[in-house]
């Protein structure tokens, strides 16, 4: 791009720092949340402490602290937003939705800077894609999916079908500019499933007819627009090159299957018995793999934090799942079905492409998204 200036800090880092300060201040007034946060934080630092005791080589305690904070950010964010949602203050709820819209504008605005020759490319080689002035390009797709989906669901609930279709086209264009398979597939999947996934338990023939008509219009239009944009963009050449060079699964997973195989061999050969259970910490995990991670969240958690870390992640996911299943039974919690859908999508992305639950950029909004499951129907009337 025309601008080669490297900023000392990214927009995302500034935003994350401000939000983390707010969360920390909020937790100071909640002993329960503060204890939970500190307990989990030190729990995930056990492998880092262990590395300090046995051998500090190839291990950075400060780096591990930063990484643990990123993994826990979605949970911290969720604990921060749940009391706000349950307070049922309609002005604050309105502010939260405005925050989502504002963040979406900032994100998309950064991505579109490439049209003016500004920002950073997603892939330096070939100057393909755009990530604006965000450093963590791989996390942009997840953040785009989360923000766009919340706005899209709100448009669908308000019966703004025309705007919904236009918003779909806009996000397809933005996804192509990012040049990410995850972004394109995620956006298409969410916009297709929102009309199908009923927001309430009542779903009559009239609503079904509206969904079918909208899908008949939106799906072919979305596919046509996507194909035309991709066909005439540099991303098509990139996809074609790797499609010819790689086998099917290696292409789909962007070589993550090979990264997993290498990391697993290191796990078997270089981890002692204790490390296989508690992990080695993020910094040593990366050092053992020449700075490369698998980029699949479940696998990266396993290799960095061992069997114990994986069990902890699965347990927290199970607790969330049970709560979502409970709330979905009540039509008053009209966002619960949508959050259920989004958690499924995010878990799928995290398993296939990573950069979801370890994303500093998206972590804040993952917590906000999940907290919306507590939003009740009477809270919507004044939003």
Yes or no: say if 198 and 341 are a contact pair by the CB < 8 Å rule: no
Q: Has residue 6 been placed in a domain?
A: no
Q: Determine the Cα–Cα distance for residues 29 and 19; give it in Å rounded to an integer.
A: 16
Q: What's the pLDDT score for residue 383?
A: 47
Q: Has residue 4 been placed in a domain?
A: no
Please state, for a pLDDT cut of 90, what percent of the chain lies above it. 42
Q: What's the pLDDT score for residue 271?
A: 95
- What does the DSSP assignment read for 166-235? HHHHHHHHHHHHHT-HHHHHHHHHHHHHHHHS-SSS---HHHHHHHHHHHHHHHHHHHHHHHHHHHTSHH
Yes or no: say if 294 and 300 are a contact pair by the CB < 8 Å rule: yes
Q: What sign for the dihedral angle of Cα 277, 280, 285, 288?
A: negative
Q: Has residue 3 been placed in a domain?
A: no
Q: Has residue 1 been placed in a domain?
A: no
SS3 123: strand
What are 313-339's pLDDT values in tens digits?
999 999 999 999 999 988 889 899 999
Q: Which two tokens stand for residue 355?
A: 């950069």
Yes or no: say if 250 and 258 are a contact pair by the CB < 8 Å rule: yes
Q: Has residue 203 been placed in a domain?
A: yes
Q: How many CB atoms lie within 10 A of CB 344?
A: 15
Q: Determine the Cα–Cα distance for residues 194 and 52; give it in Å rounded to an integer.
A: 48
Q: What's the pLDDT score for residue 30?
A: 80
Q: Has residue 56 been placed in a domain?
A: yes
- DSSP code of 289? T
Domain that holds residue 86: 11-380
Distance of CA 200 to the CA centre of its chain: 25
Q: What's the pLDDT score for residue 15?
A: 66
Query: Which residues of the chain are under the pLDDT cut of 50?
Result: 1-8, 199-203, 381-383
Q: Determine the Cα–Cα distance for residues 162 and 100; give it in Å rounded to an integer.
A: 21
Q: Has residue 89 been placed in a domain?
A: yes
- Structural domains counted in the chain: 1
Q: Has residue 171 been placed in a domain?
A: yes
């Amino acid at each position: 791009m025309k601008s080669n200036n490297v900023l000392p800090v990214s927009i995302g880092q500034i935003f994350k720092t401000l939000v983390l300060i707010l969360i920390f201040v909020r937790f100071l007034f909640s002993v329960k949340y503060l204890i939970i946060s500190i307990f989990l934080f030190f729990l995930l630092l056990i492998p880092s402490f262990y590395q300090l005791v046995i051998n500090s080589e190839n291990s950075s305690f400060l780096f591990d602290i930063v990484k643990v904070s990123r993994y826990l950010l979605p949970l911290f964010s969720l604990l921060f937003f749940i009391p706000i949602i349950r307070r049922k203050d309609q002005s604050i709820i309105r502010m939260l939705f405005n925050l989502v819209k504002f963040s979406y504008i900032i994100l998309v605005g950064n991505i579109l800077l490439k049209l003016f020759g500004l920002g950073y490319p997603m892939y330096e080689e070939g100057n393909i894609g755009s990530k604006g002035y965000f450093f963590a390009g791989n996390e942009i797709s997840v953040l785009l999916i989360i923000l766009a989906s919340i706005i899209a669901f709100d448009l669908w609930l308000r019966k703004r079908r025309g705007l919904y279709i236009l918003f779909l086209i806009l996000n397809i264009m933005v996804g192509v500019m990012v040049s990410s398979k995850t972004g394109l597939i995620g956006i298409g999947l969410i916009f297709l499933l929102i009309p199908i996934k009923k927001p309430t338990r009542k779903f009559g023939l009239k609503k079904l007819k509206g969904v079918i008509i909208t899908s008949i219009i939106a799906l072919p239009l979305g596919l046509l627009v996507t194909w035309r944009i991709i066909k005439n963009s540099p991303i098509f050449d990139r996809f074609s090159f790797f499609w010819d060079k790689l086998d099917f699964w290696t292409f789909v997973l962007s070589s993550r299957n090979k990264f997993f195989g290498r990391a697993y061999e290191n796990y078997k050969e270089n981890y002692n018995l204790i490390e296989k259970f508690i992990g080695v910490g993020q910094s040593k995990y990366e050092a053992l793999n020449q700075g490369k991670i698998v980029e699949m969240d479940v696998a990266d958690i396993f290799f960095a934090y061992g069997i114990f870390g994986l069990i902890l992640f699965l347990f927290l996911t199970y607790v969330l799942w049970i709560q979502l299943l409970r709330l979905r039974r009540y039509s008053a919690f009209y966002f619960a079905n949508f959050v259920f859908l989004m958690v499924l999508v995010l878990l799928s992305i995290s398993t296939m492409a990573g950069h979801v639950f370890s994303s500093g950029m998206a972590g804040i909004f993952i917590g906000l998204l999940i907290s919306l499951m507590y939003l009740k129907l009477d809270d919507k009337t004044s939003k």
